[in-house]
């Protein structure tokens, strides 16, 4: 699940850690209202030059609205959007050095694929020969060379999506806004295109802002991701940080699978936390530094792949160990997911890598099992 090495090897690039680096796209306390409805709520966000930044969040949380404010189709109700230090307020879309790939594609129906891609280049008064070369290059990139002369209505959904992508890429804008650019593509083509995108972004030194519903994609391509909810940003961090150190139950739950055990914090020292999770969870000890006071409520969050499942009880079954019955087994080929019902009635999930060819797994329905984990596997969350 975590960042797989699908794209090219990531450079060590972390301008957000360097206080001296200048922001490139900046949202300053931006609020966007549609009537009474607040689509973006007092949002502050900084994106750096050459960054590949992904927006993640449930449908309707304001991702498209955020992009439209960078592209210039919507103006913030409150606050400002800056690009390269310049306030964008009042700059019309056709004067912004940004290009957007629309979620609905918005291909010009009366133009061929070729003409669609060339449209932006013609606006820039690029010489004809250069336009032809660039269009060819873009067609090759999205693997649509044989379809150059077709009209949009003669294309499949995935092909349309690729034309839209090529059209937005053609001008090689300083900022590229991609609103779910690869959603309609099959897995293979999607991975290839992801690779090409990252490659292109690095070669040309562009800044990409991408919206995706596919968290695996976000983790693959992005330098940083922002997890949004109801017009607010909940966490901005690198994919690994968001996955391993979510700052809230919302983020932990949104990215990947997670088990949450509710409990009360009993000890909170520098680098060590003990949590009492009651009947189902027992005592949980975590190596973690956090600001909490004993007596406070907390949630122990642990990913299914970080627990060890066993038919025999461990040496010390009182700490970092829960016992239960196998309730359900999901076989996914590479891994199996065990749903274990705890004494308190809650269920937790644990994944086990299928290392043998055995069709009959040693652990079966209704077996009594023990789940254990080391102290650095999970994380305690207080919100």
Query: Which of 40, 48, 64, 373 touches Mg ion by CB under 5 A?
Result: 64
DSSP 11: P
Q: Which of 99, 194, 212, 247 binds other proteins (CB under 8 A)?
A: 99
* C-beta of 59 vs 269, nearer to ligand ATP: 59
User: CB-wise, 66 or 381, nearer to Mg ion?
Assistant: 66
Q: Is 136 exposed, middle or buried (0-12, 13-18, 19+ CB in 10 A)?
A: middle
- What is the DSSP code (8-state) at residue 9? P
Among 103, 245, 288, 308, binds ligand ATP (CB under 6 A): 103
Largest CA distance in the chain: 76
Pick between residue 39 and residue 144 the one whose CB is nearest to ligand ATP. Answer: 39
Q: Interaction with other proteins in 79-98: which residues (CB under 8 A)? A: 92-94, 98
Measured from the CB of residue 91, what is the shortest distance to other proteins in angstroms?
Answer: 11
User: CA of 183: how far to CAs of 45, 61, 180, 217, 379, in Å?
Assistant: 25, 18, 6, 10, 32
Site mask, other proteins, residues 148-187, x = CB under 8 A?
-----x-------------xx--x----------------
CB nearer to Mg ion: give 54 or 131: 54
* Residue 212 binding Mg ion, by CB under 5 A: no
The site map against other proteins for 30-49 (x = CB under 8 A) is: --------------------
- Kindly report the backbone phi and psi dihedral angles of residue 169, in degrees, each rounded to the nearest multiple of 5, phi listed first: -80, -25
Interacting residues with ligand ATP between 59 and 88 (CB under 6 A): 59-65
Closest C-alpha among 195, 198, 196, 216 to residue 208? 198
- CB of 68 within 8 A of CB of 74? yes
Q: Pick from 44, 123, 154, 364 the residue near other proteins by CB under 8 A.
A: 123
3-state secondary structure of 229: strand
**Which residues 6+ apart lie within 8 Å of 273 measured at CB?**
265, 267, 285, 286, 288, 290, 292, 298, 380
* Structure tokens given for 330: 């999901």
The residues of the shown chain that bind ligand ATP, judged by CB under 6 A, are: 34, 37, 39, 57, 59-65, 103
The residues of the shown chain that bind other proteins, judged by CB under 8 A, are: 71-73, 92-94, 98-100, 102, 104, 106-110, 119-120, 123-124, 153, 167-168, 171
The residues of the shown chain that bind Mg ion, judged by CB under 5 A, are: 64, 103
């Amino acid at each position: 699940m975590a960042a797989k090495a699908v794209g090219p090897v990531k450079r060590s690039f972390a301008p957000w850690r360097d206080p001296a680096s200048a922001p490139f796209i900046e949202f300053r306390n931006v609020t966007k209202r549609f009537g009474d409805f607040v689509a973006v709520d007092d949002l502050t966000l900084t994106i750096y030059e050459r960054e590949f930044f992904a927006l993640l969040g449930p449908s309707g949380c304001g991702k498209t609205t955020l992009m439209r404010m960078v592209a210039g189709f919507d103006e913030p109700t409150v606050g400002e959007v800056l690009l390269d230090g310049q306030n964008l307020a009042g700059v019309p879309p056709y004067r912004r050095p940004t290009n957007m790939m629309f979620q609905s594609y918005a291909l010009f129906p009366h133009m061929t694929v070729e003409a669609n891609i060339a449209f932006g280049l013609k606006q820039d008064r690029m010489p004809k020969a250069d336009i032809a070369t660039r269009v060819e290059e873009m067609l090759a990139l999205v693997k649509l060379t044989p379809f150059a002369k077709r009209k949009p209505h003669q294309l499949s959904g995935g092909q349309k999506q690729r034309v839209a992508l090529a059209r937005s890429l053609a001008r090689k804008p300083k900022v590229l806004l991609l609103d779910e650019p690869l959603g309609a593509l099959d897995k293979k083509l999607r991975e290839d295109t992801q690779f090409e995108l990252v490659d292109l972004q690095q070669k040309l030194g562009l800044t990409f802002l991408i919206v995706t519903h596919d968290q695996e994609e976000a983790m693959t391509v992005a330098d940083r991701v922002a997890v949004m909810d109801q017009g607010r940003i909940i966490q901005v961090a690198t994919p690994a940080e968001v996955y391993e150190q979510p700052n809230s139950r919302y983020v932990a739950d949104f990215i990947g699978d997670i088990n949450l055990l509710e409990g009360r914090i009993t000890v909170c020292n520098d680098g060590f936390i003990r949590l009492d999770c009651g009947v189902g969870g027992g005592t949980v000890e975590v190596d973690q530094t956090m600001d909490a006071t004993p007596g406070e409520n907390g949630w122990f969050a642990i990913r299914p792949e970080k627990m060890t499942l066993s038919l025999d009880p461990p040496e010390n079954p009182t700490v970092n160990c829960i016992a239960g019955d196998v309730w359900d087994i999901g076989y996914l080929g590479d891994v199996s997911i065990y749903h274990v019902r705890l004494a308190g009635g809650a269920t937790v999930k644990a994944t086990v890598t299928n290392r043998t060819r055995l069709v009959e797994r040693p652990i079966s329905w209704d077996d009594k099992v023990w789940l254990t984990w080391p102290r650095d596997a999970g994380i305690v969350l207080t919100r």
